[in-house]
Structure 1
Amino acid sequence: MTLPLLPPHPVPLCVIVLAIVAASTDLTARRIPNRLIALGLAAALAVQISLHGALAGALAWLAGAACGFALLLPFYLLRGMAAGDVKLLMTIGAWVGPALSWRIALATFLIGGVWSLAQVLLHGRFGRLLANLRQLACGWLIAPLRPPALLDTQSESVGTLPYGVAIAAGTLGMLFAAAL
């Protein structure tokens, strides 16, 4: 499997700054500000248009943003992720396009999954994790077309992570890999 080419300059630098700022605010405030997302989306649109022309740039921006949004939206709908995380990958997608967004999401899932499992094990919450997964699976078996109710009287969260950090790590990793 070959990685897509690194996006043209100044895209990688802008994405690196966006990812680091989002991760740092997610670490400190446990949220990713909408102002950062709006600024990132507007700047991505301007850069895409300047690099590819009005129509092609707007379409590249839209395709990348839609891909990033669609990749994390199901996790938000299942209450497994915050809206800021979805919007962050959408913004990164607007910068880098669908092909690299897809790979960033896969790297993010790997990093976030390992980090989550480490946190669960560190805090002794593995039994609770298995119970929650069993409840989720049973809910899908009983009513596969209805969204599962993850939070009821029998389930409790095993914890939360500032997932913007995992998104930033996945982004930086994929940008570095594409540069090689």
Structure 2
Amino acid sequence: MSATSTLSPFVAPVVISLVLTAAAIDLHRRRIPNWLTFSAWMLALPVQMAIHGAGGGVAGWALGWLTGLSIFLPFYLLRGMAAGDVKLMAATGAWLGATLAFQIAMVTFLLGGVWAIVLVLKSRQQRQLVRNIGVILRTGERGPSVGSIPYGAAIAAGTLVMLFAST
């Protein structure tokens, strides 16, 4: 049985709306607002409790939230990702649970990585990227940026892939 087959029919459309809204805002404003992520966290808890009972709902919500948060938090701490991206992934995990949060994060890393590589190649910044990686490995410091992507869009793409791949 796939992870998505245990989802309530109500959950997937809510999460799709969440990530598409976040992606649209991130593409336009290059940030994901707290009102969106925090309200998603808070709404997910009573929904999870209604679906899985008080104990199961709280546990599923907390484990999903922590999984989404903990996978993306190190990248934020290394200044490779914005806080809104971390909060969006935590919200996605709160709605979908730990297993799907982990799977979505892995697909998101793949899609976001391919997107970033394409942008680096397109902008001809490969040498600077290699220099930056060397500096990071030697000193832990960052070199000049070779660009950025609105990672909320990558999270949305990873979420859609995982929700639709197993249906």
Q: Give TM class, smaller chain.
A: over 0.9
Residue from 142, 155, 173 that aligns with 2:161: 173
Provide Cα deviations, 1:83-121, integer angstroms capped at 9, x if missing partner: 000000000000000101111001000100000000001
- Report the secondary structure of 2:149's partner residue: coil
- Report the secondary structure of 1:79's partner residue: coil
Residue 17 of structure 1 aligns with which residue? 17
Residue 144 of structure 1 aligns with which residue? none
Partner Cα distance (1:80, 1:38) in 2 = 22
Aligned-pair CA distance for 1:4: 2.1
More helix by share: 2
Aligned-pair CA distance for 1:38: 1.3
Residue 4 of structure 2 aligns with which residue? 5
Aligned-pair CA distance for 1:5: 3.3
Partner Cα distance (2:21, 2:88) in 1 = 11
Q: Which amino acid is 1:43 matched to? A: L
Residue 126 of structure 1 aligns with which residue? 126
Provide Cα deviations, 1:101-149, integer angstroms capped at 9, x if missing partner: 111001000100000000001111111100001111223xxxxxxxx22
Q: Which amino acid is 1:162 matched to? A: P
Q: Which amino acid is 2:74 matched to? A: P
Unaligned runs of 5+ in 1: 140-147
1:79 aligns with 2:79: yes
Residue 57 of structure 1 aligns with which residue? 57
Q: Which amino acid is 2:67 matched to? A: C
- Report the secondary structure of 2:49's partner residue: helix
Partner Cα distance (1:99, 1:51) in 2 = 17
Partner Cα distance (1:102, 1:61) in 2 = 14
Aligned-pair CA distance for 1:3: 4.4
When Rg is computed on C-alpha atoms for both structures, the one with the higher figure is 1
Partner Cα distance (1:3, 1:116) in 2 = 30
Q: Which amino acid is 1:5 matched to? A: T
1:149 aligns with 2:141: yes
1:161 aligns with 2:161: no
Provide Cα deviations, 1:39-75, integer angstroms capped at 9, x if missing partner: 1111111110110111210111000000000000010
1:138 aligns with 2:138: yes
Give the alignment's TM-score, normalised by structure 1: 0.89
The correspondence of residues 26-45 of structure 1 with structure 2, limited to 5 A, is 26-45=26-45
Partner Cα distance (1:4, 1:167) in 2 = 18
Provide Cα deviations, 1:126-178, integer angstroms capped at 9, x if missing partner: 11100001111223xxxxxxxx222xxxx200111100000000000000012
Give the alignment's TM-score, normalised by structure 2: 0.96
